[in-house]
Structure 1
Amino acid sequence: MFNIIITTFWIVFIAELGDKTQLQTMLLATQSKSLWPVFLGSSLALVLSSFLGVCASTILTKYISPHYLQTGAGVVFIVIGVLTLLGRM
């Protein structure tokens, strides 16, 4: 169980570094007199979105094979990447 926690932490931590959400949080922090509300708000948002992802995957895997979900997610990421490169996203 500890291995899953550590692996999940590093995957999410690395994935979130430098993304649009982090940049937006940095901009909000520059406009705020106190950093704590921005930190708490962004932390709670990440916790909630992670919770929703875990709940959704738990429900989906009851009806759809994890293999199909992984393949579908991979295809969606590739499509988003191609659309981004073409300037359509």
Structure 2
Amino acid sequence: MDAKIFATVFFTVFVAELGDKTQLATLLFSADKPASKWTVFAGAASALVLAAAIGVVAGGWLAQHVSPRSLKLLAGAGFVLIGAWTLRSAFTT
């Protein structure tokens, strides 16, 4: 296992998940008194693992069919568009 790639992916995903809808939903489920905290943790962790697995499989498939340069351009353009949309919504509300 490449420790540098592991650390980069871990840090990136960890920061991206902080304060997002997934974390807030998990917080609300665990705040429910009758809910077992371990069951909430297991459900949330399993969902994140499955979502990550889908991302890895989709990324592997894309890498076989699309050039790395095109993938980087597409990902960069997607992030720029999301950022522009976020800024637009912040200034228009």
CA distance in 1, matches of 2:33, 2:5: 35
Greater gyration radius:
2
Aligned-pair identity in percent equals 44
Moved more, 45-54 or 63-72: 63-72
The runs of 5 or more residues in structure 1 that have no matched partner are none
Using the size of structure 2 for normalisation, the TM-score is 0.81
| Aligned match of 2:49 | 47
Q: Does 1:3 align with 2:9?
A: no
Mapped partners of 2:84, 2:7: distance in 1:
31
> What 5-or-longer segments of structure 2 have no aligned partner?
none
Specify the code of the residue in structure 2 equivalent to 1:36: W
Superposed CA deviations along residues 38-84 of structure 1, whole A, max 9, x for unmatched, are 11111011111111111111110111012211211121222223223
The 1-side partners of 2:12 and 2:60 are apart by 19
The 1:32/1:46 distance shift into structure 2, 3 A limit, reads farther
CA distance in 2, matches of 1:51, 1:26: 23
Q: What amino acid sits opposite 2:60 in the alignment?
A: T
Q: How far did residue 32 of structure 1 move? A: 4.7
How much is the aligned-residue C-alpha RMSD, in angstroms? 1.8
